[in-house]
Chain A
Amino acid sequence: MTAWAFAAAQTLLFIAAAPLLGGWLQRVKCHMQNRAAPAVWQPYRNLAKLLRKRMLLAENASWLFRAVPYIVFGAMLLAAAVVPLITVHLPSAAIADVIVLVGFFALARFFTALAGLDIGTAFGGMGASREMMVSALAEPAMLMAVFTLSMTANTTNLSVATEYILKSGLVLRPSFLFALLALAIVAVAETSRIPVDNPATHLELTMLHEAMILEYGGRHLALIEWASQVKLMIYAVLIVDFFFPWGIATDFSALALTIGLVAVVAKLMLLAVVLVVWETVLAKMRLFRVPQFLGFAFMLSLLAMLTHVVLETGG
């Protein structure tokens, strides 16, 4: 019973901490670009304001449009429940299958795209169409990288894979290096960061993700923004779990949990700095350069799989 309580607590902590990661990201970016930075808890203030606001719905918004924010947030909540944040041995780990995780993301994306098409404006259609293209091209790279990792650990369960990597100690695997690069590129594409999409743009013609949710306001927009912050955190924690899992708790003692918490906070802060540097150095790409970029990610993940089969396993 306490294990389930821990699982629930970890999920709630995940959801609660996601806007904090967004705030830290924004702060570091502003410092890097020599701008005055907002406080780290500005995203919480934004969410609270949005939740209080009165919603404006387009005249022909259907029941699907009104249901989608809840579906998207629910899918992200479920995804957050299965990714190990601080500790690995939770009962919810039994559905922590990485393909199921990809399925949750696909579910959220499907319904967001439908919401974009619902009102019947050109902006929504454009966002939906571009987003489906980018995600279709990112999917093989992500799954190939994940396959490489699960072929090494002989499991698709996130929890078991993290434990396996922890237990095998320091092993220099080239397949992991390439898979890390591929997964990083896919994460950038899926969370709509530069160079695939600009999360801070106001120009509709340059939007991918934002164009789909253009019509949302009030508590719907709060849920959707929160869900995208959770998605960014999930990808970050996924990268941390697969490639740098040292420090994660393997039992429920107070010491292990504290170390796990401190370790994951430090790693996420560091990953955010890396992301900011990446975003500052690169410029947003033209839409039809994105397929080449994702093709490069697919090639990296193919290379990861090949080096695993050729170099890392005997025979």
Chain B
Amino acid sequence: MSIISFFGEFMDLNQWMVLFMFISFIVMLFRGIPVAYALVGVSLLFVVINVFLLDPNRHYIGEYIDFSRIRSNYLKLEANSGRFFGNIIKNPVLVALPMFIFMGLMLDQSGVAQRMMRSMQVLFGALKGGLALTVMLIGIILAASTGVIGASVVLLGVMGLPAMMKQNYSKPIATGTIAASGTLGILIPPSIMLVIMSDQLSISLGDLFMGALFPGLILGGLYIAFIIIYGLIKPGSMPLPKNPEPVSAKVLLEVMIAVLPPMMLILLVLGSIFFGLATPTEASGLGALGATALAIMNRRMDMKVFTDVMRQTLNTSGYIVGIFIAANFFAFVLRLYGGDEIIENVVLGSFDDPYLVICFILFIIFCLGFLLDWIEITLIIMPLMLPVILSLDVAVEGYGVVSNPSVVWFAILVAVTLQTSFLTPPVGFALFYLKGVCPPGVTLGHIYKGIIPFVMLQLLGLAIVFMIPELTTWLPAIAYGN
């Protein structure tokens, strides 16, 4: 037992076990094992270690390890059934998840984006960077009505990239614009990420939706400002079309007609939440119906589109719920080893100033974003951070309406930080999807170069939200004030 006492000198055995748990998870991750499988595998491994190695020897190692909390047997695992049922199945808030996925996929098929592209292209034809602006605006409008990013990036890429190449846009700007605008969908409500966050942090989904609206629009505004300014500084990177069509009243009308349907959808979904007419779950159902109606109106609907959207919804729900189930079990096993408290103490002990602690968490999430995607980060890291935020006692104005304003603020901060995780190589959802639709001649180098300014802008947006927490709590307070 001298080895144990040797290791016990540095950290107690619980801490070693938690450390090993994360290390073995990361090793498996790098080997390309699906995240959900790796999570459940690591958890099972540590259950086995617990039951067959630690528990029988608890008389010898009891002074080094907090064995009362780790003693376990098969019967204790039965508790996971209730956790699984309560957290994942009997969860009316999460009903919104597949509905928003369905809505986003359906909207991408509905042809509204193509219509907007056609008309807005003409409207901004005489403006430097007009095409990039068009793509950006479509991205923002789609963002406000969908919650899935993969499909949006593919759609914008297939639509916008060839057009921009034809006009001799610089490739980094073109790819960066598409990746960044497609990514906004996950921040601007309704978004499935916010649905999952509200579940993990036990805060109101309505608060989170309303809270994310301003930060999302700020980010969109920064992108637009950047494109306009960049077009003025470096006109060569965004040349004008050869013979732009004149902007007439007819063009304006066409833009209006193209933009109106998605705007109505936004009004339907966000408006019904804002005015308290419907819960977010009900709004998700209405939104799905609205998107279907748009597809029918644009004559894009047939049996194949409908079944494909359904099946793709099933598939997307499947890999999200896979990590849900796995992370739920992982948290269960982590708790057997006291891992939640250990991590809470490590994070809390990192800095004295609560704002520095939050910066520290955000920095870690930013770094994890290079490797992981939002699903893993929100499902594994967020529940561990909740007790930290609650005990930090950061004063955020809730106007007496928003409950747990500091948690809402923190969730939005993480949501903005996670925007970078889509764009940062080597693993980024947006990059992955964009790569798939790139025309020949566009290399990974162009894409990587293109996202740098947008990641900077995202960090700037993060700083703004960090400095002015009221941005996230004012709107929910107005919406639910009376």
Are A and B subunits of one complex?
Answer: no
Residues in B lying within 8 Å of A, measured CB to CB? none
Residues in A lying within 8 Å of B, measured CB to CB? none
